[in-house]
Amino acid sequence: MKNIFWLSISAITLTWLGLGLLQDSLTDDAHQGSNTSFNLKSNNQILPLSDQTLNKQGQPATQAEEAQRVWVENAISQQLAEVASAYEENIRFPNYSKPLRSNDWNLLNPRPFIVKEAPLDVADNLSAAIILDQYIITREQDVPVKVKISGDLKNDAVQQVSVQIPTEGFLQHIQLLTLSSQTNNEVIYSGILPASSLTSATPGEQRVLADIRFNHYQPAKISTVVKLADNAITLSHLGESYIDGAHLMIPAHFDNHSSGNYRLQANLFDLSSMQPISHLNSQFKLTESDNETVLKVHAVTLRAQGFSGPYLLSDINLTQTPVRPGDQNGYGSSAMPNYEVRGYDLSHYSDDIYVNEDNIKRLEFLNKMATSP
């Protein structure tokens, strides 16, 4: 009979292995997550028993100890069965076109910028925050920026708000923002930091500084951090989509700034309802003479979501992947934030399912562990 202690340790290890396999099948990107969660809970103490069903004192196990052993084995089998079931559902879809859901926050927010509100010392109950669309910004693109001031503003109207990225040794470009919304408890000022103001900034993390001037208080300053990068490549436009067997094929064309290995991640939405459909993840190599690739969406994903198009390609995240150890990621941009993609009736695709033999072997392994006596 099994030693329950080591069985428990092994099962928990295999559960994490299953989760790792599930994560690998979801994405190759380290910051992407899974919607599936697993919990292994027990309020009972696990007592190690020998193969002869002896308790830790070397005496024959009591009925309660034997019942506990059975309970633990059943719980472990159930846990592994849940891992295998979730993995089986996930491997129906290829990594390059996984289903996208409305709660996939990290996929829907590439290069996310986390807003942090800071209290202002000029008056009680006043705070402010700088809001950017992304944390990583290429220096060749304009930067939309907002400043939100919160608190009792009925008698303390804001006079002026400006932003800049301070660059030592260069003439500072100060951008005045305009009032875009206002209530008694909040005002938001918006504007654009033009790309021309970023040319003298050094790539890497830089401060964005906001200067807030009030009618009745001293000026206040707040700052945040953004990562500036040189633009390695630009997605210039998409070609006309077409069907190839079980795939919707979307040609993508680039203005190539440097040859290398690239990854394009983007989200596909139904154009009319804006319901999320698929997260696309494509890796490819470009040279100066070869500046296009084809994004693929498998019909199994389109049919699972039930939308035949037209679609909208958005949330584009373009990166240059390292060639050698120690190389840093490069970053690209898109000429447009969104692109319309032609769709086709779902019956026009072939009925070929997606199969990955390595995933099938992993599933067989998980199922075997879940049913092992």
Who wins on pLDDT, 21 or 121? 121
- Asked if the domains at 122-229 and 231-348 fall in one CATH topology, the answer is yes
Q: What is the pLDDT of residues 360-372, one digit of tens each?
A: 666 666 666 666 6
How much is the pLDDT for 87?
A: 65
Find the helix or strand (DSSP H, E) in which 309 lies. none
Q: Is the pLDDT of residue 82 over 70?
A: no
Report the CATH architecture of 231-348.
Sandwich (2.60)
Strand ranges, E, within the chain: 97-99, 118-119, 127-132, 136-138, 143-150, 158-164, 175-176, 178-182, 186-193, 204-214, 220-229, 231-238, 242-244, 247-256, 260-270, 276-286, 292-298, 311-320, 330-334, 339-341
Q: Is the pLDDT of residue 189 over 80?
A: yes
Q: What is the pLDDT of residues 113-143, one digit of tens each?
A: 999 999 998 877 889 999 999 999 998 888 9
Report the CATH architecture of 122-229.
Sandwich (2.60)
How much is the pLDDT for 61?
A: 61
How much is the pLDDT for 367?
A: 63
CA 44 to chain centre: 37
Q: What residue ranges do the domains of the chain occupy?
A: 4-91+362-371, 122-229, 231-348
- Residues contacting residue 227 through CB under 8 Å, at least 6 positions apart: 135, 136, 137, 204, 205, 206
Q: Is the pLDDT of residue 44 over 60?
A: no
